[in-house]
């Protein structure tokens, strides 16, 4: 605060405490909006960072602040200057403890609804950020009832919009609605730029709302970002579940761990009689090779703007399931007979593989768990038993987590 005229500055500050953040019911100080109060004679300038508020709300808060300052005895002129915060102390994607992506095989199944309500559920216990990577249909701002523009920090980094402690970034927050007109590389570069440079303050969990489908943008994002796992959203409709099954397979083939599935619009509970009704009459559904994390009903409550930390119980349960899945997503279950060479020096890796493999009977299963791609181990195994690589059948290598690979074969 300025050193000039402390008594007037104190009175201005006291008066400003009556101005509230209309969304959070906090004073503008508690909400962290007031950066500085400068008093020059009878002129007062309040510096305020209102980047967390949408345009209309911010204008209302500025008006209320001006009114409050003007009401203070001794003030001749009042000004409110909007300032940008600094990126200092903020982090980028790499800083998050967990990154969870929400995907769907097709559009319109409720992917963005699941992403936003999941973020709101997790926000009860964590500092959560939500990134809307859906270039052509960025629905997240609408679902959360927030709007842009996106502000930049003093360093020029894009700042997320804050709503009840949840941080949100979306191309849909850009002022002129440009994303809808973007195509291909331009759109991809814009999202990439936002994804890489957004200066987050929250750093526990980042929820990523992916575009629908399994196009290049989706796969590249999943492979480039430090994603712990994906939640896939489907409706309980035969074709939707089959498509989702293929999506799960594709993610696994591309080394993306799948945390589980959300079956959305599972049933509709009648407002009048409370009777649950199926919305889709598809008979028996195909098996999904992923655990079902939640079955969400079709409900008007799920169409309403979610409140971070205060979500319907079915969504809170989804949050708990995802939290539990994230805890184990970084772990790979090592079969008892596997050779675990993670973290070992090169010579020790070779020694363990040699000892175990040469001790096996023909036809016995052999499994290696490694912290790097163990494909070259195939040639080493061949030399050990003087067999060509083709003699190893089956021979599979899969990336079980972002940092664990599993090699499975049989001694020829
Ligand atoms: N469980 C539900 N109960 C009631 N309405 C729902 C539910 N899930 C989704 N909706 C509604 O369905 C519409 C589409 O949902 P949403 O935008 O989440 O789908 P999406 O899969 O993200 O779509 P897109 O493919 O456009 O990204 C929205 O109006 C949303 O409010």
- pLDDT on residue 343: 92
Tell me, using a 6 A CB cutoff, whether residue 107 lines ligand 1: yes
Q: Which of 102, 103, 105, 112 to mutate to test the pocket of ligand 1 (most atoms within 8 A of CB)?
A: 112
**Which residue, by CA, sits nearest to atom 2 of ligand 1?**
298
**For residues 39 and 225, what is the distance between their CA atoms, to the nearest angstrom?**
47
Cα–chain-centroid distance for residue 341?
32
pLDDT-derived band of residue 384, with 50, 70 and 90 as boundaries? Answer: very high
User: What is the rounded average pLDDT of the residues 136-144?
Assistant: 87
364, 410 Cβ separation under 8 angstroms: yes
- Using the mean position of ligand 1's atoms as its centre, give its distance from the Cα of residue 108 in Å: 6
Known binding-site residue numbers:
105-112
pLDDT of 23 over the 60 cut: yes
Known binding-site residue numbers for ATP:
105-112
229, 259 Cβ separation under 8 angstroms: yes
- pLDDT on residue 317: 96
* Confidence check on the interface: ipTM exceeds 0.90, yes or no: yes
**Which residue, by CA, sits nearest to atom 31 of ligand 1?**
303
**For residues 320 and 309, what is the distance between their CA atoms, to the nearest angstrom?**
12
Atom of ligand 1 nearest to the CA of 265: 1
Number of C-beta neighbours around residue 165 at 10 A: 17
Tell me, using a 6 A CB cutoff, whether residue 298 lines ligand 1: yes
Domains defined for the chain, CATH in brackets: 6-82 (3.30.300.130), 93-329 (3.40.50.300), 339-410 (3.30.110.40)
pLDDT of 342 over the 60 cut: yes
- Using the mean position of ligand 1's atoms as its centre, give its distance from the Cα of residue 300 in Å: 11
- pLDDT on residue 313: 93
pLDDT digits (tens, 9 = 90+) for 42-76: 999 999 888 777 778 888 999 999 999 999 999 99
pLDDT digits (tens, 9 = 90+) for 264-290: 988 887 777 777 777 666 566 667 888
pLDDT of 6 over the 70 cut: no
- Using the mean position of ligand 1's atoms as its centre, give its distance from the Cα of residue 145 in Å: 15
Q: 210 CB contacts (<8 Å, ≥6 apart)?
A: 101, 102, 103, 104, 111, 133, 134, 218, 221, 222, 230
313: nearest Cα among 329, 328, 327, 297: 297
pLDDT digits (tens, 9 = 90+) for 8-22: 888 999 899 889 887
DSSP string covering 51-93: TTS-HHHHHHHHHHHHHHHHTSTT--EEEEEE-PPPSTT-B-G
User: What is the rounded average pLDDT of the residues 109-132?
Assistant: 95
């Amino acid at each position: 605060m300025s050193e000039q005229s402390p008594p007037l500055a104190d009175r201005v500050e006291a008066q400003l405490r009556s101005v509230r953040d209309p969304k959070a019911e906090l004073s503008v100080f508690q909400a962290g909006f007031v950066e500085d109060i400068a008093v020059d004679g009878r002129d007062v300038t309040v510096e305020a960072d209102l980047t967390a508020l949408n345009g209309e709300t911010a204008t209302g808060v500025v008006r209320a602040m001006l009114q409050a300052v003007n009401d203070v005895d001794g003030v001749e002129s009042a000004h409110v200057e909007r300032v940008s915060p600094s990126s200092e102390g903020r982090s980028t994607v790499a800083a998050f403890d967990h990154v969870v992506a929400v995907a769907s095989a097709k559009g319109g199944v409720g992917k963005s609804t699941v992403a936003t309500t999941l973020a709101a559920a997790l926000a009860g216990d964590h500092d959560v950020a939500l990134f809307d990577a859906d270039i052509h249909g960025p629905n997240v701002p609408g679902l959360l009832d927030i709007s842009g523009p996106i502000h930049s920090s003093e360093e020029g980094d894009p700042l997320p919009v804050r709503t009840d402690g949840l941080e949100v970034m979306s191309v849909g927050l850009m002022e002129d609605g440009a994303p809808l007109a973007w195509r291909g590389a331009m759109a991809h570069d814009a999202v990439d730029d936002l994804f890489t440079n957004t200066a987050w303050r929250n750093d526990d969990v980042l929820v990523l709302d992916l575009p629908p489908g399994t196009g290049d943008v989706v796969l590249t994002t999943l492979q480039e970002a430090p994603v712990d796992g994906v939640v896939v959203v489907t409706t309980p409709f035969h074709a939707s579940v089959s498509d989702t099954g293929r999506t799960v397979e594709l993610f696994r083939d591309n080394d993306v761990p799948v945390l589980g599935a959300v079956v959305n619009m599972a049933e509709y509970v009648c407002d009048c009689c409370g009777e649950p009704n199926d919305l889709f009459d598809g008979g028996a559904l195909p098996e999904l090779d992923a655990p079902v994390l939640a079955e969400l009903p079709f409900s008007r409550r799920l169409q309403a703007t979610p409140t971070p930390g205060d979500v319907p119980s079915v969504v809170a349960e989804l949050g708990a399931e995802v939290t539990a899945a994230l805890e184990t997503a970084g772990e790979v279950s090592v079969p008892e007979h596997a050779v675990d060479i993670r973290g070992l020096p090169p010579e020790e890796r070779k020694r363990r593989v040699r000892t175990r493999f040469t001790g096996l009977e023909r036809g016995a299963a052999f499994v290696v768990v490694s912290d790097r791609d163990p494909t070259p181990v195939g040639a080493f195994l061949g030399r050990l038993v003087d067999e060509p690589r083709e003699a190893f059948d089956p021979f599979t290598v899969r990336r079980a987590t972002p940092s664990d690979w599993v090699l499975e074969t049989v001694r020829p």
